[in-house]
Structure 1
Amino acid sequence: MFAISNCYSLVIDFLNGADVVMLGAIFQHSPNVLLSLKEYQSPVDLAKGGAVSLLSGDQDIELKAMFLKEGIDLLKVNFVQNKNHLNDLLDKKVAAINAYSSNEPFFMTKQNIPFSIIEPRNYGLDFYGDTLFTSKELCKTDPLAVEKFRKTTMRGWEYALNNMDEIIEIIFTQYNTQNKTKEHLKYEAKVLKKLINPEFVQIGHSNPGRWEHIVGVYKMFNFIKGNRNLDDFYYNSEQKVDFTWFYIYIALAVLVALVFAFIAYYIFSINKKLEKVSLRHKILFQNSASAGIVWREGYVVTDWNAQAQKMFGWSGDEAIGRSFFDFLVPQDEELRVEKNLKKVLQDYEMHIFINKNYTKDGKVVICEWHNTLLPQNNEDVQEVVSLAIDITQRYLEEERLKKQANHDALTLLSNRYHFEEVLQKRYSLAKRYNLAFGVAFIDLDGFKAINDNYGHSAGDYLLKTLAQRFQKIVRQEDTIARLGGDEFALLLNIHDENEPYQFVLSRILEAASKPVKYNEHELKISASVGVSFYSTQNDVGVEELLHQADISMYEAKKSGKNRYFVCKEC
């Protein structure tokens, strides 16, 4: 019997007495991540607000453990059971869901929906992924069969990773039970290859120290009974005849024959390389105030300066020899960054672009990268030098200014521009998925008289007070905006016209008609509200939908004001 399991179920079963032996970790890193809305960048952000959808039981322990690593009490996190998965995230019913880095991010990217990926390994929780195992009994009774099956499995994975297009075609035509597109399968293959990491780690390799770390995480959750050690968990093949010394003697004989020819070539080539390395270090690294890395094909780091260590936290020993996509670039940025870097390889011009990067302690910084090809001789490997400066504060300030541009200065509600932008996005989503939503125009009755009788200061105070009241009434998923003057608009984020939206509108009317105290005066007005709904029965454009709401608002005024009117004939 042979099977594949995730590492955490396998090691827990072993420690709780199961007769299993781990034959090898296929995935060096687990694909299990939290996929969140763009505004949630870390476990701390999720703990402050928003539900986190996980699988039941102990299947997502590594995701929960991230919160503990950040010092967050799990009782303060709103964990909910996974129901509609990705749809719950798109509908903003939850702030984050458990996901596979090889699957759900593809759908978000294709639909141009901003998202964040929160990975356990950025918080010191680097679990293995799919792991091959068998029974201890089979290892004893038929060790040759176990060894052959293990070697065949690893060779199969090696072939698949070296011939991905062929394997994708076979899966697409013969085993595509999930109806994935070829583009999706290629994306999945690319992510899985990074998780397996065959360029630097032999397929099937596992580190006892990492298994001990995984066990330590599960002990925090009291999932492990007893104190069974892991000695019998690891697979040890039967030792064959040792030809080590024979091979050493052969190698020494060949080495002696080649040594004199090699020395002459070595002295010549090493002098050239030392000149190049010395010049590169002096100009680009030792005298650079920017974080600098040099990399080659496959985005493998070949040099890493002191400023890079200071900015990102990893030392040169930790970074050199690894693809910087494995630790420096967030997954939601990978496609865009790779597209930019391909342009760098086409010429010797300076290419500048901005993207997010991870630091060793899990923080996200915004960097401006200056990239260019290094000059090369014919025998040199093509390399690129990339210099980075941290522009996080500048970027956040720009975002703050953008926020100001999207909000009304007086009431701090969304302004007309932002409302129309949100409306257009909601319309596109409803159009694509056959959803419904509502638009309400709110016009204040008697506001002009307030300005005429008490002055514009009183009018401004009234508008700010009503804006605060409206903001408290509308739901989190709705959008309230001031369009200008005494006109407001409300986007009702519902799924069909039968939802109880009337309660929200009634409270809007109540809030508008409640007197506002201003100095020694009581300011009294009311509101007229016109509502229209987009649905499959009223499949109109945005302009027509706004026109319907405007007409309905005037019908409310004609009917006596202080009421709402719903466009039913649309």
Structure 2
Amino acid sequence: MRMLLKFIIILLVTTSLFAEKEKISLQLEWLHQFQFAGYYIAKERGYYDVVGLDVTIKEMKTDVDVVKEVISKKSEYGIGRSSLLVDRAEGDPVVLLGAIFQHSPSVLITTNPKIKTLKDLNNKNIMITNDVANGATIKAMLLSKGLLYENINFQQHSFKLKDLIDGKTDAMACYLSNEPFFLKRAGIPYKVFDPRDYGFDFYEDIIFTSEDELKNHPKRAEAFYKASIEGWKWAFAHIEETAKIIHDKYNSQNKSIKSLIFEGKVLKELALNKNGDIGTISMEQIDKITNWYRVTGLLKEKYDFSPYIDPLGFNKKRLNIGVLAKRGEEKTLERWEPLATYLNRSLEEYHVVIHPLSFDEIEEHIKNKSIDFLLVNTVNYVQFENQYGISRIATVKSRGMQGEACSYFGGVIFTKKDSKIKNLNMLKGRKFAAVNEDSFGGWIMAYEFLHDIGIDRDDIKLKFYNTHDAVVHAVLNSEAEAGTVRSDTLKHMAMEKQIDFDKVKILEPKQYENFPYTVSTKLYPEWPFAKLNHVSENAAKEVMTALIRMPEDSVEAVKADIGGWTVPLDYSSVHEVLKKLHIKPYDKIDITPFEVLKKYAIWIYVFISILIVGIIQFIHIRKVNLELDRKVHERTEELYEANHRLKELAHTDALTGIHNRGYFMELAEQLFKVAKRNQSPFQILSLDIDYFKDVNDTYGHQVGDSVLKLFTKKISSLLRESDIFGRIGGEEFVICLQNTTHEGALAFAEKILKEIRALEYKNNKGDRISFTVSIGVAELEGDKTLTQLLSESDEALYRAKRAGRDRVES
């Protein structure tokens, strides 16, 4: 047995080694050194081989532009800096996959004893590469001390430390892990200007690729990225061994093993995040970098980078959402991929993937736990809730003909326009098309309606077609004489020009108040979004919150043809239908009948036996139904309480207790419309706590949270009942003042500055922490929209920050 196992392992390894591998290349941004250790290790230890990749690692040359190298497809992947964001905004189709260094190792070093401060670099020479010059960290550090780029002579980087030592340049862009080691060993005095000492701490060594590569080779991209991260993990866990590999095979700079070990130890501290992970990249940090680019003028306008930051979720925990493919796999992906886009933008820790599932596939995926959440029709939900304990966290709102949102739906029973079938009684003996035995809108609703008017399923020639589209085509192509689908199917197919709606006749048409479609049946709650038992409460809470906060007019909601989401509805009416029709879980009850005496059977005993069996069955059925009713009632009671909490959550910022971004915007839009209609004064104030990151870094996030609470409590005490106050970001807030002049708003903003200056937070160590705030004010004038008004106050806020902070600008 052991010999057989060894043979299989050898066979697998041999097959892997000799299988044809995909050839790709990685363009570095510098010369070979420990800075790129993870890629060398992934290559040397076979991590790339295992995933079928033959990777060429290309050292930097002076005439190579890393971004152009990748977008021109000379290299599939590259290592870049934060300036990639500027490249993206200027039209280069780059996509950022992950950041190896969470803290930038980029520094400026001088050996000129006359240069003691950053200001001494004014009108001096700095040797630097273009991407470092345009990177956020170095540029932010220089600008923070009033140094203008036009007053500095930037020289092309020679990559030779000797040029710095010989005075051919006054300062050189270096890596904290490299040049200090050689200068110290040579006994040459030097001074380091580290952006982190000036409050600027941004990503470095970002793995990136092109949009084409990610679109055409997503699996290859994932394989390359994850193999590279494994290489980095090994490199940092075995720094001495890694240094020797680099020394022997990747040593174009002739570094010693000691210098490489020093480099590895420094870089390890800069690479690992607080959880010990490598490669993580967050939109929060990207936004900070972006804001600095806007302040420095490299970015002229706001730009949404979220679609280009780890779009496939390589650095996130994956959440798989199974969706019932009621119209087939292609249509399901087309409709629900926008939901994944929205969730991936909203969820910091998770990456969502949509999986279309047929009716027959759902249960198997629940059993195997290959999906984490389920968006499914109401009957499937009730059945799986009973059998597997899944629980709903939200209910979808469908979108009507005019864009109106509705959380209920129905079914239509239809035939061809020229059909001789005039009413439902004429369906007896006819060919009838439905979607599936378990399809609520595509069969069960119609079944209930037919049952109520005395038509049993045996009275029609029933055939299931698996998708709603197939049912419609079957009727219009005369394969069936009538059929049933959910209420919005005909609308979708008509809008997609698959059918001519004028050729359809709806039987027993009904209109319900505030419901946009003509239907034949009653209305029932829309599809629930449910979590499976194995999903953590944190993940469920994050997803639930994101769904409830999804604006019904968002791009993704419109693309998905939904009106957003609401708190979970009461599905007891669905249980009643299933009971009435004896459909699972109310279909079969296991009983043990008395054994009928065969040899001495007497008719009276047979009658008594049958009667007893009937009574037992009735009692058992009643007991099971009561138990199911109890479970439904308990779940409903829990949901009522959860609904109340969810409504509060949907409106309130969890930390500070003031309005969250979504609810603030909703209220502000209402007040804005009133102000426009009444031509009354209306002001927007954008506020940002100055140097708030320093508070977090110095005292910890717990103290930072307490400072935010103190800040919002103080400002809330200054507001009138008619004013609204919301948190729109980490330390960013907005106030809406109605019936207040511009002069009054400026006076109020000055009052806020004074009150915040006087504010002080004392932590448990006795430290007294004070802080200030910058404010931008904008006034409603002419035909401005609320979006323009918010943008103007935001721009004013940035002017206040550029002018020195702790001030008001308008």
Report the TM-score when normalising by structure 2. 0.29
Structure with more relative contact order (C-alpha pairs < 8 Å, separation 6 or more): 1
Of structures 1 and 2, the larger Rg is shown by 2
Report the TM-score when normalising by structure 1. 0.40
